[in-house]
């Protein structure tokens, strides 16, 4: 069959068949008619359930025609999105909800087993009306999810098997093929699971039966509920596999997965307790029937609703409960329920928790404490408890161990790595200070990443997804660095994609003066100390502190922006040491070179000015430049003052005009001589300390790329 993704068949009402014969081909009309017949039969089943007890059948048929299942399906088919994607987010969420609703449904069905009760005073079988109403309402509520699931299945596409060679495959959107696939697969099971059989037995069959036949209604209720229990349980497993196959998981956390398996185990205990309750009533009524046959009484009197009702006292002696006699009748494993009086109580919480505890206790002990009679079905029930307990308990322990171990996997990996590191450090005889630094680094790295290899995790993701994740993780922190505020979004994306998170422990050296620089760091958290001696120059020392928002390794940026730079890495002019634990983003040399070559906007002068303002290297050079300029200024001022004094002395000598100098000339001469002697003494002492010292040199100006090509 050729599946066309845009080909759809619209189903017309029955009244317009003749008018549409000429519009559609014969084959399409035939297929549409067959499918309509199937849908009509399904609609009639639902219609009969809703129309029961009504006197106006024609009016209900008219209203049903306007809101039938076929009409609802036609509305779905005429919607804009006619076919639902089975791997789409909506159906994945719905499948999870439906799995949970199925588990809830199979836990509510055994409530019908608690409807029969024993009237110990009148020795007859009765029914709890409150329990009937409660079980019916809860069962009808869960049936709504099954009906919605059936509707969605007729609108859910499937992947063509021959298209799974590559990728996810082609989604089949042919509504007829979708309906055919669903009908031949799980449609019958879903219909059997949603039929309101227990409600029909409770509200229709039981009230119409009278006499001794009414005693068999509990057997009918037992078989009907058990008959529907099979397709409901069968439907849960493929749904669970489908959910785990499409989304990978059913529960997001490990504790939820362990709780899910524990709930399944408790559900089995609840089901076994409900069966035990109903079988206990059945064994007591069986004893009554045998006693009636031996004493020639009327069996219809054993049903409380029959009138007139006769109380038979011999039933207390023939079926003793308080003082059991196995010779008269052996109740076996059901004696505990009869003796405790739970089959006579209308207090639902009391008998529910009592039966639930009995089921949980015997499932956990694999039925080892059960003392059965020779009744065959009782023995079969005990065997089923033992087998079910063995299987379910094994699954529970295994699954809970798997889920709980998943939470400690990282911790165990950390212990193994720490043990290997300790053995290696002891084998290499490392000193205690190095051992402590290694331990601090491993501990700090574990606190930050929880053992997850982030780079390996991101490396296997698509490029656009990796870019978005990097942007989410790095962009807010990068914008704290002033140099990145001048970049556009495209350049920021390129930077975020290549940044790698790094950690440094306390007192660790990131780079030393004179070592090649192969990475540029952008500080996110922490505090660092950066120092320089200007290449080992005696008497020169500069100290600065780096905090969040600063960067180091700016020599690498200058090297990357220079198109004529060599392949050798630049030499660091500073020593950078972490004072506390430091978190930063690292940009290695190759990535920085690639970004600089691909994005010419990185060469803008505005970025150059921002880089100069926040660069520690440029700040140090600027400080040294200002100090040198200030020294030149003060020396020039001193020379000018000496020159002025010398001129004043000469003027004073010239005004004297005689052989004997005046008093003013003498004072100026003495001052000039004192200043000259002071300068000579200071110069002589300096030469004595450093006789061959080279004149002081200014700190070398940081290199920067040539921007003339861009300006031209």
Q: Is the pLDDT of residue 150 over 70?
A: yes
The whole-chain average pLDDT of the chain stands at 71
Residues 261-276: b if buried by 16+ CB within 10 A, e if exposed? beebbbbbbbbbbbbb
Q: If you search the block for the tokens 């809970």, which residue do you land on?
A: 400
Which residues, other chains included, contact 124 with Cβ-Cβ below 8 Å and sequence gap of 6+?
Answer: 118, 301, 302, 303, 304, 309
pLDDT value, residue 606: 60
Integer Cα distance of 684 and 682 in angstroms: 5
Integer Cα distance of 503 and 205 in angstroms: 75
Measured at the CA of 279, the angle between CA 274 and CA 280, to 5 degrees, comes to 100
Which residues, other chains included, contact 53 with Cβ-Cβ below 8 Å and sequence gap of 6+?
Answer: none
Integer Cα distance of 313 and 183 in angstroms: 57
Q: Dihedral of the CA atoms 683, 686, 692, 693 (nearest 10)?
A: -100
Confidence of residue 315 (pLDDT cuts 50, 70, 90): confident
Where are the alpha helices (H) located in 365-375, listed in sequence order?
Answer: none
- Give the mean model confidence (pLDDT) for residues 217-245: 76
Residues 407, 254 contacting (CB under 8 angstroms): yes
**Phi, psi at residue 375, to the nearest 5°?**
-70, 130
Q: Is 302 left (phi over 0), alpha (psi -120 to 50) or beta?
A: alpha
CATH of span 454-621: 2.60.120.10
Q: Which two tokens stand for residue 300?
A: 């219809």
pLDDT value, residue 503: 82
Q: How far, in whole angstroms, is CA 615 from its chain's centroid?
A: 42
- Which DSSP helix (H) or strand (E) runs through 503? strand 500-504
Integer Cα distance of 154 and 77 in angstroms: 9
pLDDT value, residue 164: 53
Measured at the CA of 639, the angle between CA 634 and CA 645, to 5 degrees, comes to 125
Report the range of poorest mean pLDDT among 259-268, 306-315, 656-665.
656-665
Q: How far, in whole angstroms, is CA 433 from its chain's centroid?
A: 41
Q: State how far the alpha carbon of 99 is from the alpha carbons of 92, 95, 238, in Å.
A: 11, 6, 10
Q: How far, in whole angstroms, is CA 100 from its chain's centroid?
A: 19
pLDDT value, residue 682: 60
Q: Is the pLDDT of residue 20 over 50?
A: no
Confidence of residue 91 (pLDDT cuts 50, 70, 90): confident
Confidence of residue 113 (pLDDT cuts 50, 70, 90): confident
- Identify how many contiguous H helices and E strands the chain contains and give both numbers: 25, 12
pLDDT value, residue 357: 92
SS3 state at 119: strand
pLDDT value, residue 12: 40
pLDDT value, residue 676: 61
How many of the other CB atoms lie within 10 Å of CB of 628? 14
pLDDT value, residue 29: 41
Write out the DSSP string of 577-646. EESS-EEEEEEEHHHHHHHHHH-GGGG-HHHHHHHHHH-HHHHHHHHHHHHHHHHHHHHHHHHHHHHHHH
Q: How far, in whole angstroms, is CA 657 from its chain's centroid?
A: 105
Integer Cα distance of 651 and 657 in angstroms: 10
Confidence of residue 82 (pLDDT cuts 50, 70, 90): low
End-to-end CA, the chain: 67
Q: Is the pLDDT of residue 597 over 50?
A: yes
Residues 496, 470 contacting (CB under 8 angstroms): yes
Q: If you search the block for the tokens 């009782």, which residue do you land on?
A: 378
pLDDT digits (tens, 9 = 90+) for 363-408: 888 888 888 888 888 888 889 899 988 888 887 887 777 777 776 7
- For the chain, the domains span 83-384, 454-621
pLDDT value, residue 414: 75
Residue 274's nearest CA partner among 330, 348, 203, 195 is 348
Residues 96, 251 contacting (CB under 8 angstroms): no
- Give the mean model confidence (pLDDT) for residues 211-230: 73
Q: Which two tokens stand for residue 31?
A: 């297929």
Q: Is the pLDDT of residue 628 over 70?
A: yes
- Give the mean model confidence (pLDDT) for residues 150-159: 77
Q: Which two tokens stand for residue 540?
A: 């020169």
pLDDT digits (tens, 9 = 90+) for 323-361: 777 777 778 888 888 888 888 888 888 889 999 999 999
Burial class (CB in 10 A: 0-12, 13-18, 19+), 110: buried
Where are the alpha helices (H) located in 127-216, listed in sequence order?
Answer: 129-153, 175-182, 188-194, 197-200, 206-208
User: SS in 3 state form for 39-75?
Assistant: HHHHHHHHHHHHHCCCCCHHHHHHHHHHCCHHHHHHH
Q: Is the pLDDT of residue 30 over 60?
A: no
Residues 477, 585 contacting (CB under 8 angstroms): yes
How many of the other CB atoms lie within 10 Å of CB of 377? 10
Q: Which residue has the higher pLDDT, 485 or 10?
A: 485
Q: Which residue has the higher pLDDT, 437 or 12?
A: 437
pLDDT digits (tens, 9 = 90+) for 514-571: 888 888 888 888 889 988 876 656 556 678 888 887 878 877 777 776 666 677 888 8
Confidence of residue 160 (pLDDT cuts 50, 70, 90): low
């Amino acid at each position: 069959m050729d599946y066309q993704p845009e080909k759809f068949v619209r189903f017309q009402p029955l009244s317009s068949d003749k008018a549409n014969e000429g519009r559609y081909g014969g084959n399409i009309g035939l297929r549409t008619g067959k499918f309509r017949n199937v849908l009509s039969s399904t609609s009639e089943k639902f219609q009969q359930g809703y129309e029961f007890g009504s006197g106006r059948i024609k009016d209900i048929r008219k209203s049903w025609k306007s809101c039938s299942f076929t009409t609802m399906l036609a509305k779905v088919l005429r919607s804009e999105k006619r076919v639902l994607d089975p791997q789409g987010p909506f159906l994945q969420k719905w499948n999870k909800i439906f799995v949970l609703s199925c588990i809830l449904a199979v836990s509510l069905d055994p409530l019908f087993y608690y409807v029969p009760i024993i009237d110990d005073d009148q020795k007859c079988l009765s029914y709890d009306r409150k329990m009937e109403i409660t079980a019916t309402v809860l069962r009808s509520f869960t049936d709504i999810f099954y009906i919605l699931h059936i509707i969605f299945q007729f609108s859910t596409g499937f992947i063509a098997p021959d298209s799974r060679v590559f990728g996810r495959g082609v989604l089949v959107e042919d509504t007829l093929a979708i309906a055919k696939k669903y009908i031949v697969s799980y449609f019958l099971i879903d219909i059997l699971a949603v039929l309101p059989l227990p409600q029909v037995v409770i509200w229709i069959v039981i009230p119409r039966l009278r006499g001794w036949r009414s005693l068999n209604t509990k057997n009918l209720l037992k078989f009907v509920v058990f008959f529907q229990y099979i397709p409901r349980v069968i439907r849960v497993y493929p749904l669970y596999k489908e959910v785990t196959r499409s989304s990978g998981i059913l529960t997001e956390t490990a504790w939820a997965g362990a709780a899910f398996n524990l709930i399944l185990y408790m559900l089995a205990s609840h089901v076994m307790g409900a069966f035990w309750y109903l079988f206990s009533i059945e064994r007591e009524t069986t004893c009554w029937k045998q006693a009636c046959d031996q004493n020639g009484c009327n069996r219809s009197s054993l049903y409380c609703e029959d009138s007139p009702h006769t109380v038979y006292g011999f039933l207390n002696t023939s079926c003793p409960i308080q003082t059991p006699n196995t010779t008269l009748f052996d109740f076996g494993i059901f004696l505990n329920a009869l003796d405790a009086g739970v089959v006579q109580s209308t207090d639902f919480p009391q008998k529910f928790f009592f039966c639930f505890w009995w089921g949980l206790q015997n499932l956990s002990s694999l039925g080892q404490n059960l003392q059965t009679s020779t009744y065959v079905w009782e023995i079969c029930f005990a065997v089923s408890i033992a087998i079910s307990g063995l299987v379910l308990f094994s699954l529970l322990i295994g699954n809970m161990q798997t889920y709980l171990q998943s939470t400690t996997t990282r911790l165990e990996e950390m212990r193994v790595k720490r043990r290997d590191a300790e053995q290696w450090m002891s084998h290499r005889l490392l000193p205690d200070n190095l051992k402590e630094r290694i331990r601090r680094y491993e501990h700090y790295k574990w606190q930050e990443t929880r053992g997850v290899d982030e780079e390996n995790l991101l490396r296997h993701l698509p490029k656009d997804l990796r870019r978005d994740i990097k942007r989410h993780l790095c962009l807010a922190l990068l914008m704290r660095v002033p140099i990145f505020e001048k970049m556009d979004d495209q350049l920021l994306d390129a930077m975020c994609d290549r940044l790698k998170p790094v950690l440094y422990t306390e007192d660790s050296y990131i780079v030393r003066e004179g070592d090649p620089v192969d990475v540029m760091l952008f500080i996110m958290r922490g505090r660092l100390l950066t120092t320089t001696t200007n290449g080992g120059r005696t008497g020169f020392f500069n100290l600065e502190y780096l905090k969040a928002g600063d960067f180091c390794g700016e020599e690498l940026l200058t090297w990357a922006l220079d198109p004529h730079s060599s392949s050798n890495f630049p030499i660091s002019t500073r020593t950078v040491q972490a004072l506390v634990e430091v978190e930063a983003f690292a940009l290695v040399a190759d990535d920085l070179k690639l970004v600089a070559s691909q994005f010419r906007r990185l060469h803008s002068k505005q970025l150059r000015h921002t880089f100069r303002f926040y660069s520690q290297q440029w700040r140090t050079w600027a400080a040294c430049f200002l100090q040198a300029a200030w020294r030149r200024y003060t020396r020039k001022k001193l020379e000018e003052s000496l020159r002025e004094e010398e001129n004043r002395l000469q003027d004073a000598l010239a005004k004297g005009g005689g052989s004997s100098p005046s008093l003013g000339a003498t004072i100026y001469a003495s001052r000039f001589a004192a200043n000259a002697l002071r300068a000579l003494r200071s110069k002589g002492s300096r030469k004595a300390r450093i006789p061959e010292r080279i004149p002081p040199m200014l700190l070398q100006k940081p290199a920067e790329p040539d921007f003339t090509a861009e300006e031209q």
